[in-house]
């Protein structure tokens, strides 16, 4: 059976709708020049679609992995403006985020649609990062775990438990995303334990990230929790020093765990 120490840590930067070719170059060069090797942590960046080839090329001989922020679940066809999983694989992506709360809300993506994206990602050889998280209202009403359980259940029913051996789950409380309000390590740990519990014995190997106002100065305390395996970063991933420091915090905690 896998234990906490067997799970690699993962830090993923979600650049959201930010960047230009020139700004990306500056940011990537700053990250690469400050980078210190990580033994127990994988690090990935998910830029806007149009910059995927730029990142794939710039990061090709680096340890940094490239991911995308979404995909259309169809293989190809008359879907103007959409991008398929095969296209993402073809552009050098390894990960793809599905179910981010900004897309659930602004693009009206339903739990079922997210499940289709999850399946399509895996069919294209991508590792989906499935985002789940509750609204502030749900938390205040004491329904956070019910809301998250429902989001997970729809994908588990569609894909099966085994599919999660090739997936990552990210807990992003909506009230903590881009607000500067971070869940406390204890609040996040409670939800991560709940999420892991939905997968039975298989849950031991599942990498579960926390996302929502993670910064260099709160990352260490979050990563110290036994069920927080890394972070999905928004704002902090646009700053080279913050991004590197958060990856190093993950390494520090992971190194402590393996000693
Ligand atoms: O949404 C997020 C990552 O996907 C988190 O964003 P912030 O780190 O900016 O709160």
- List CB contacts of 227: < 8 A, sequence separation 6 or more: 4, 189, 192, 193, 195, 196, 208
Q: Using a 6 Å cutoff on CB, does residue 105 contact ligand 1?
A: no
Is 234 flagged in the annotation as binding? yes
- List CB contacts of 66: < 8 A, sequence separation 6 or more: 44, 45, 46, 47, 52, 55, 56, 59, 91, 92, 93, 94, 95
Beta pairing partners, 127? 95
Is 213 flagged in the annotation as binding? yes
Q: Using a 6 Å cutoff on CB, does residue 235 contact ligand 1?
A: yes
Measured by CA distance, the residue closest to atom 8 of ligand 1 is: 234
Ligand 1, residue 215: give the atom nearest the CA.
8
User: Which of 10, 13, 14 to probe ligand 1 with, by most ligand atoms within 8 A of CB?
Assistant: 14
Q: Using a 6 Å cutoff on CB, does residue 87 contact ligand 1?
A: no
Residue spans of alpha helices (H) in the chain = 21-34, 52-58, 85-90, 101-106, 111-123, 136-140, 144-159, 185-197, 216-223, 240-258
Q: What residues are annotated to the active site?
A: 100, 172
Residue 6 confidence (pLDDT) = 79
User: Which of 99, 181, 214, 215 to probe ligand 1 with, by most ligand atoms within 8 A of CB?
Assistant: 214
Is 15 flagged in the annotation as binding? yes
pTM: 0.97
Q: Using a 6 Å cutoff on CB, does residue 213 contact ligand 1?
A: yes
- CB count within 10 Å of CB 197 equals 12
Q: Give the mean pLDDT of 64-76.
A: 98
pLDDT over 70 percentage in the chain: 97
Is 175 flagged in the annotation as binding? no
- List CB contacts of 251: < 8 A, sequence separation 6 or more: 9, 38, 39, 40, 41
Tokens of 43: 């690090």
Q: What digits encode the pLDDT tens for the residues 129-148?
A: 999 999 999 999 999 999 99
Centre of ligand 1 to C-alpha 179, Å, is: 9
Q: Using a 6 Å cutoff on CB, does residue 47 contact ligand 1?
A: no
Measured by CA distance, the residue closest to atom 2 of ligand 1 is: 234
Q: What digits encode the pLDDT tens for the residues 154-199?
A: 999 999 999 999 999 999 999 998 888 889 999 999 999 999 999 9
Residue 5 confidence (pLDDT) = 56
Euclidean distance between CA atoms 65 and 45, whole angstroms: 6
* pLDDT classification of 258: cutoffs 50, 70, 90: low
């Amino acid at each position: 059976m896998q234990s906490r120490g067997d799970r690699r840590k993962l830090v993923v930067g979600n650049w959201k709708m930010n960047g230009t070719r020139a700004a990306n170059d500056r940011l990537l060069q700053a990250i690469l020049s400050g980078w210190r090797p990580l033994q127990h942590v994988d690090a990935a960046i998910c830029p806007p679609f149009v910059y995927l080839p730029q990142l794939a090329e710039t990061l090709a001989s680096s340890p940094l992995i490239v991911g995308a922020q979404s995909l259309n679940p169809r293989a190809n066809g008359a879907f103007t403006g959409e991008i398929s999983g095969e296209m993402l694989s073809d552009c050098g992506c390894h990960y793809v985020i599905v179910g981010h709360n900004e897309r659930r809300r602004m693009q009206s993506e339903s739990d079922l649609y997210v499940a289709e994206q999850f399946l399509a990602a895996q069919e294209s050889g991508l590792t989906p990062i499935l985002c789940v998280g509750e609204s502030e209202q749900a938390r205040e009403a004491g329904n956070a775990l019910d809301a998250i359980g429902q989001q997970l259940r729809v994908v588990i029913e569609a894909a099966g438990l085994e599919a999660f051996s090739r997936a990552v789950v990210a807990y992003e409380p909506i009230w903590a995303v881009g607000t500067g309000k971070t869940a406390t390590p204890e609040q996040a740990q409670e939800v991560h334990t709940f999420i892991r519990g939905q997968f039975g014995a298989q849950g031991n190997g599942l990498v579960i990230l926390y996302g929502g106002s993670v910064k260099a100065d709160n990352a260490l305390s979050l990563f110290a929790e036994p069920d927080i395996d890394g972070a999905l970063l928004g704002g902090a991933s646009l700053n080279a020093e913050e991004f590197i420091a958060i990856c190093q915090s993950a390494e520090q905690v992971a190194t402590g765990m393996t000693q």
